[in-house]
């Protein structure tokens, strides 16, 4: 298993102290560990072992995704080999920090954009505009830091490029998408798949409408992600009017403006009936 390789073990031991919830910027202190891993020959050796295992046993199932091979996942971060193969439809404002290094001869080229001054990740606002901030490229052995708290990157890919990617877990709740022309914010997606799954779960519980679901929905009303909280409040209304009204009253003081507005609108509609 790749996790037993001493080079990977040393890398993990050096990276883990750099992952701090109270200080996300400490992640950049992991760059020397990534540089050492790149220079060690670990990635090529790991790939050779993986291919040998596949040849020996065609049913071997590794940590492969359509365009990514997960090398290691630790608490709060992931290390992977990714294939960047086509320009995306949108420019993504990433919800995590990351470091990229090309593997092979192709340089990784990119356009860079400054996020709008009034960008507030948890509160999606359509129509905000990116500001061009130049371009650049990175070669094999070099490392590009993705300063996603203030910059968005548009990778230019005339040919596919393999990269080693070290990334944190999501440190912001949303991934914003900006249109290429005129560089305006278009939509936002949940940064963590679990948020989407919890929203779907809340909706299903509401449609089933069984009283045994009350405790679970009330618990989700206090979830850190605003979209999960609102989905739970909506579903709660299908099970208990009194519980839903109580949560709507509390939502008038919610930390997220979208929840406050939605709660007020819903209460106004109820009063008109």
CA dihedral 34, 35, 38, 42 (to 10 degrees): -60
Which of 208, 162, 168 is closest to 192 using CA atoms? Answer: 168
Burial of 259 per CB tally in 10 Å (0-12, 13-18, 19+) = buried
Ordered structural domains, the chain, with CATH: 2-191 (2.60.120.10), 194-272 (1.25.10.10)
What pLDDT sits at residue 2? Answer: 44
- pTM of the complete model: 0.86
What pLDDT sits at residue 1? Answer: 41
Mean pLDDT (whole number) for 79-86: 92
Q: Is the pLDDT of residue 181 over 90?
A: no
């Amino acid at each position: 298993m790749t996790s037993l390789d001493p080079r990977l073990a040393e890398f993990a031991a050096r990276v883990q102290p750099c992952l701090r919830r109270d200080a996300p910027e400490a992640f950049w202190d992991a760059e020397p560990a990534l540089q050492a891993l790149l220079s060690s020959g670990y990635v090529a050796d790991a790939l050779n072992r993986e291919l040998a295992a596949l040849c020996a046993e065609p049913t071997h199932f590794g940590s492969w995704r359509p365009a990514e091979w997960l090398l290691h996942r630790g608490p709060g971060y992931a290390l992977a080999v990714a294939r960047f193969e086509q320009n995306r439809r949108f420019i993504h404002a990433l919800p995590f920090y990351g470091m990229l290094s090309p593997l092979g001869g192709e340089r990784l080229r990119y356009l860079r954009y400054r996020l709008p001054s009034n960008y507030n990740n948890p509160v999606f606002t359509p129509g905000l505009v990116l500001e061009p901030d130049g371009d650049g490229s990175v070669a094999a052995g070099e490392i590009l830091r993705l300063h996603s708290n203030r910059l968005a990157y548009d990778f230019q890919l005339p040919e596919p490029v393999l990269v080693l990617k070290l990334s944190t877990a999501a440190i912001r709740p949303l991934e914003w998408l900006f249109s290429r022309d005129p560089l305006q914010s278009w939509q936002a997606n949940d940064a963590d798949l679990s948020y989407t799954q919890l929203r779907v779960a809340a909706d299903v519980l509401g449609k089933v409408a069984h009283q045994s679901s009350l405790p679970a929905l009330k618990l989700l009303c206090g979830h850190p992600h605003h979209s999960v909280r609102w989905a739970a409040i909506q579903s709660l209304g299908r099970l208990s009017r009194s519980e839903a009204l109580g949560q709507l009253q509390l939502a008038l003081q919610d930390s997220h403006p979208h929840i406050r507005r939605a709660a007020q609108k819903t209460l106004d509609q109820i009063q008109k009936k």
